[in-house]
Structure 1
């Protein structure tokens, strides 16, 4: 069981690493060239679409909203589980399986058409927006979102109360 924010950030780091390796291999084989202005326009349009998509997911529109899913999450107190420590993202920041899967797919795509890697850039940017949405929801509601409390259904979410913050010495605040 891990926090949804950590899951999203781990996926972003793994996929961006795979894309960076694919671009480096492509540059070493074909040579590095300066990006043109069409690339900047392409990235700008991609980012604008992702911002709109993330804002739509933050609404309560049926079939699009992720906020509705967050609010339907099962409280952890109702489920007999042990929550992992806060250091989970620091201990496991990378997903080797996702990295390998994206790298195996990204290398042939990069040699076929380097511009097609922009399509592969959609998912990490979408996951980054999802992580921001989850972090905002957690902060506003004072809860933490968890995924994977049932091994056979890892997409189901659960929530727990946010632990009280500690001071620099580790003592409880007064």
Structure 2
């Protein structure tokens, strides 16, 4: 199990790492990106569209995009939090997904080599959406006085896409 906020933040780090790894390779082969053309505006447009998508995803009335706010509101209390929940640092470690980093790095490499050095920037599509969702989840947790978790618990079978919550606990070193 991982904290929802940790998952959002770690995804941002994963994207930045993937872009940082592939950018030198692409820039070495294709040269540095030149800001004179419309690529900068395209990347900013993708950035803005992603932020809008993140806002729609947390909207309570959004039936098409996801409506994660409804999912937060329907979260189920965790029966035995002390036995199941990882330490805060362990939650951050569990949130890291190496296969996602490899996927983003390979796609940045392919796009950068095929379409030019600005192709490395396609991965910014993940960043604003995750920032919006992470900030909203953090405010939601604070407003409700709980921590929001995602993951499976064998003792508490839930439907897919449902969240669990626990009361805040004292952080233990780890």
What RMSD over aligned residues (CA atoms) do the two structures have, in Å?
3.0
Moved more, 53-62 or 74-83: 74-83
Superposed CA deviations along residues 17-76 of structure 1, whole A, max 9, x for unmatched, are: 112222221111222243235233223322332333222233211424210000111111
Gaps of 5+ in 1: 166-174
TM superposition shift of 1:80: 8.8
Match of 1:147 among 147, 150, 172: 150
CA contact (8 A) 2:146 2:166 kept: yes
Partners of 1:158 and 1:142 lie apart in 2 by 13
- CA separation of 1:78 and 1:94: change in aligned 2, threshold 3 A: closer
> C-alpha displacement at 1:12, in angstroms?
1.6
Does the CA-based 8 Å contact 1:106-1:120 persist in structure 2? yes
- Is 1:159 matched with 2:161? no
* Aligned length in residues: 167
1:17-28 to structure 2, matched below 5 A, reads 17-28=17-28
TM (norm. structure 2) is: 0.78
How far the C-alpha of 1:83 sits from its partner, in A, is: 0.9
CA offset at residue 160 of structure 1? Answer: 0.8
Listed one character per residue, the Cα deviations across residues 74-98 of structure 1 (whole Å, up to 9, x for unaligned) are 1112789511112225656743222
Measure the CA separation in 1 of the matches of 2:120 and 2:111: 7
**Normalised TM-score (structure 1):** 0.78
Aligned to 1:30: 30
Contact map agreement 1:50 1:126 (CA 8 A) in 2: yes
Moved more, 120-129 or 144-153: 144-153
The answer to whether the 8 Å contact 1:54/1:133 transfers is no
CA distance in 2, matches of 1:89, 1:27: 35
Cα deviation 1:115-143 (Å, max 9, x = unaligned)? 44444321233222221221121122111
Query: Would the aligned equivalents of 1:150 and 1:156 in 2 still touch at CA under 8 Å?
Result: no
CA 1:40 to 1:107, structure 2 compared with 1: closer, same or farther past 3 Å?
closer
Deviation of 1:144 after TM superposition, in Å, equals: 0.8
